[in-house]
Amino acid sequence: MQRNMYLFVALAAVALAIMGGLYIIQSQTPAGTRILVVSTTTSLYDTGILDLIEDAFEAENPIDLYFISMGTGLAITRAQRGDADMILVHAPSREFAFMEEGYGVNRKIIAYNFFSIVGPGEDPAGVREKTPTEALERLIERGRAGEAVWVSRGDDSGTHTKEMGLWSEVGFDVSMLSDEEWYREAGAGMGKTLQIADEYGAYTLTDMGTFLKYSKDGLVTLEVLVSAGEELINIYSAIAVDPEDNSDANFEDAVTFTEYLTSSEGQALFESFGFDAYGVSLFSPAVELLSTGSDPTTAAWVTAAGFFEGSECPPEYRRGETNLYRDDG
């Protein structure tokens, strides 16, 4: 009972903060400028790429972007409750459910990168350069022997969803693992989870964008031990709230923003972001990859993990006149 009360108070506080933030935005928005509320995953927000996108987009459009940053699960919940006009997330299975349940439309895959398993440089579990399956099996073995610790985000985010899928693929139930001492849940965003793992000398699953930023900034000393490969593909998508479900949703501007993200200008921002600072881009643009198959192997991985009924957005989940699917045969 007490735990439920704390949860209610916490959710109420978040809701009040969002309402307060929207009031401030509205009061400071120039006349004639519209507001678009975007519920987004922390891995996009924390890297700083949305600041760059916001500045570029608002310079060309009378639309004020307002981002609500949280794990994918909560980002989707916010949109379902009518607190956002669109979502930017990275959990395809959750996205498909969002559309199937009548909440989301006009989905577009906008970018991708890879998840990685990171951990201490001395690598006590011996997972360096193993396949994801081999690495997780070794982590269970060494963890149960008291030689390794795993820190899960445990926050219903896209990264957490991916992690649960990976554990399931090697035959383990996360609900059972969570009762074991070596498996710990942070219940936090990616940046905080990385810092907790660093403090414990532990392993964790991370998106590469957030990891590179935290590593470069000297906030963690963890190293990439297992990276890339089909199992670790990380796909980011934009989805508008269905105006037939929420007539108050700013659908027109959600489509405009999605079109910008998938335009040559928007895709160029993904392609270049982070290169000067890290020597590698934090995100890879997805639109040209999918339309031309310029890298057949990666395109096949994105298609296998991110398409639904053979499409990033089946026709029944498309609304309005838009150029989003002009290249979709």
Report CA dihedral (82, 154, 5, 21) to the nearest 10 degrees: -40
In a domain, 12, yes or no: yes
Tens digit of pLDDT for each residue in 2-27? 334 433 444 444 445 454 544 444 44
Residues 161 and 271 in one domain: no
Bridge partners for 89 per DSSP:
237
In a domain, 327, yes or no: no
Percent of the chain with pLDDT over 70: 89
In a domain, 300, yes or no: yes
Residues 143 and 79 in one domain: no
Among 111, 159, 117, 121, residue whose Cα is nearest residue 281: 111
Residues 106 and 119 in one domain: no
Residues 242 and 289 in one domain: yes
pLDDT, position 271:
96
Tens digit of pLDDT for each residue in 239-256? 999 999 999 999 999 999
Residues 108 and 243 in one domain: yes
In a domain, 255, yes or no: yes
CA distance between the termini of the chain: 54
pLDDT surpasses 80 at 48: yes
Contact 301, 92 (CB under 8 A): no
Residues 153 and 207 in one domain: yes
The boundaries of the domain holding residue 26 are 2-113+235-317
Taking the C-alpha atoms of residue 128 and residue 125, their distance in angstroms, rounded to an integer, is 9
CATH number for the domain spanning 257: value is: 3.40.190.10
pTM over 0.85: yes
Residues 123 and 96 in one domain: no
pLDDT surpasses 70 at 223: yes
pLDDT, position 29:
55
Last residue of a domain, one of 196, 214, 232: 232
Contact 306, 234 (CB under 8 A): no
Last residue of a domain, one of 179, 199, 232: 232
In a domain, 323, yes or no: no
pLDDT, position 323:
85
58: phi then psi, degrees, rounded to nearest 5: -65, -25
Residues 65 and 198 in one domain: no
Last residue of a domain, one of 232, 253, 269: 232
Number of domains in the chain: 2
Taking the C-alpha atoms of residue 222 and residue 252, their distance in angstroms, rounded to an integer, is 43
In a domain, 167, yes or no: yes
Residues 281 and 266 in one domain: yes
Residues 194 and 250 in one domain: no
Residues 123 and 218 in one domain: yes
Coil vs helix vs strand at 121 = coil
Cβ neighbours for 290, distance < 8 A, ≥ 6 positions apart: 109, 299, 302, 303, 312
Polymer length in residues for the chain: 329
